[in-house]
Amino acid sequence: MKTVLKSQSQEVVVSMDGPIVMIGEKINPTGRKKLAAALQAGDFEYVKQQALQQAAFGAHVLDVNVSVPGLDEKSLLPAVVKFLTAHTQLPLCLDSNNPQALAAALEVAPGKPLVNSVSGEEGKLRDILPVVKDRGAAVIGLTMDNAGIPADAEARLAIAGKIIERAAKAGIPAEDVLIDPLVLSVGADQKAAAVTLQTIALVRREFGVNINLGASNVSFGLPDRQTVNQAFLALAFGAGASCVITDAEKLAGAVLASDLLLGRDPYGKRYLIHVRRMQAAAAAAAAGGARG
């Protein structure tokens, strides 16, 4: 199955045989005081800097989350989307809990954006699916509902099925639904990653849809988070995930190595280009340091 996302000028395809798609997570003020302050001040330069940096590290799509307590997302999200459209050619992933903010951002986003997200909650299905359909966008479906995130893979599979079915009823084809099986911290629950990996395999087998993950949660509270995140991502791609919301700067290497190992990078071309680019950047930084 192929999910096509578009900006004003570029197309990104999520599929099981093409490159794993990296959605840059950094335009998100959660835990980022500097970004929260910049958004509060209406200063989007820092947003631009984050966008360009993520693109340079290989992000294919940019997640845009502007949820800061006290700010009006309904006006801020479309404003930041418009700003980003003037400064980046990457497709956007509109990340909000607020259906009105998503609807407003969809009106100004170019091409074919990704909506992040709907869930199995009735209110979310009712409010979000029609605007996704009207705009011809794609949507991420989280495997949770009013009762929270189920502890077992079968229950997450059932919610995925419900979302896909309700999307179809609203006129959204399965290829425009990415299922996100969600991962909790393995530091808090030993089985957290295993349940997510099982859900990925079940959803792929049952529905064949593309699967997205936000991977950073898995390592919350553990030392050396990056090593855990890298190992988890490799396992998730092996199980069938093909899209990830992540820090491209830290995890592009693991994503591209996974592509290579899964036979999704002919001749290792993209892996080699990435490594050379990182080496050139490190050399330039070292030379700058020596001069400075």
Cβ neighbours, 10 Å, residue 73: 20
Rg of the chain taking only CA atoms, in angstroms: 19
User: Judged by CB under 6 A, does residue 28 bind ligand THG?
Assistant: yes
User: Judged by CB under 6 A, does residue 24 bind ligand THG?
Assistant: no
List of residues 6+ apart from 103 with CB closer than 8 A: 131
- Provide the pairing of β-strand 3-6 with 11-14: antiparallel
User: Judged by CB under 6 A, does residue 176 bind ligand THG?
Assistant: no
User: Judged by CB under 6 A, does residue 116 bind ligand THG?
Assistant: yes
User: Judged by CB under 6 A, does residue 210 bind ligand THG?
Assistant: no
Applying CB under 6 A, which of residues 54, 216, 229, 258 lies at the interface with ligand THG?
216
Select the span of 28-36, 101-109, 193-201, 263-271 touching ligand THG (CB under 6 A): 28-36
Distance CA 194, CA 223 (A): 19
Select the span of 27-35, 48-56, 166-174, 228-236 touching ligand THG (CB under 6 A): 27-35
Site for ligand THG in 29-88 (CB under 6 A): 30-32
Q: Tell me the C-alpha to C-alpha distance, in Å, between residue 107 and each of 28, 48, 68, 100, 117.
A: 21, 21, 21, 11, 16
User: Judged by CB under 6 A, does residue 96 bind ligand THG?
Assistant: no
Select the span of 25-33, 74-82, 194-202, 268-276 touching ligand THG (CB under 6 A): 25-33
- Provide the pairing of β-strand 212-214 with 243-246: parallel
Distance CA 241, CA 130 (A): 26
Distance CA 246, CA 154 (A): 26
Q: Tell me the C-alpha to C-alpha distance, in Å, between residue 269 and each of 11, 19, 239, 275.
A: 20, 12, 23, 10
User: Judged by CB under 6 A, does residue 214 bind ligand THG?
Assistant: yes
User: Judged by CB under 6 A, does residue 117 bind ligand THG?
Assistant: yes
- For ligand THG, the closer CB: 65 or 88: 65
Tokens for 146? 């009013």
CB of 181 to ligand THG, least distance (A): 9
User: Judged by CB under 6 A, does residue 180 bind ligand THG?
Assistant: yes
User: Judged by CB under 6 A, does residue 219 bind ligand THG?
Assistant: no
- For ligand THG, the closer CB: 145 or 180: 180
User: Judged by CB under 6 A, does residue 140 bind ligand THG?
Assistant: yes
Site for ligand THG in 223-262 (CB under 6 A): 245
- Provide the pairing of β-strand 92-95 with 138-142: unpaired
User: Judged by CB under 6 A, does residue 25 bind ligand THG?
Assistant: yes
List of residues 6+ apart from 62 with CB closer than 8 A: 23, 24, 27, 51, 54, 55, 84, 88, 90, 91, 92, 93
Tokens for 86? 């003037």
Q: Tell me the C-alpha to C-alpha distance, in Å, between residue 223 and each of 58, 258, 280.
A: 26, 23, 29
Select the span of 77-85, 163-171, 199-207, 210-218 touching ligand THG (CB under 6 A): 210-218
User: Judged by CB under 6 A, does residue 92 bind ligand THG?
Assistant: no
Tell me the site size for ligand THG, rule CB under 6 A: 14
CB of 215 to ligand THG, least distance (A): 8
Q: Where does this chain bind ligand THG (CB under 6 A)?
A: 25, 28, 30-32, 95, 116-117, 140, 180, 212, 214, 216, 245
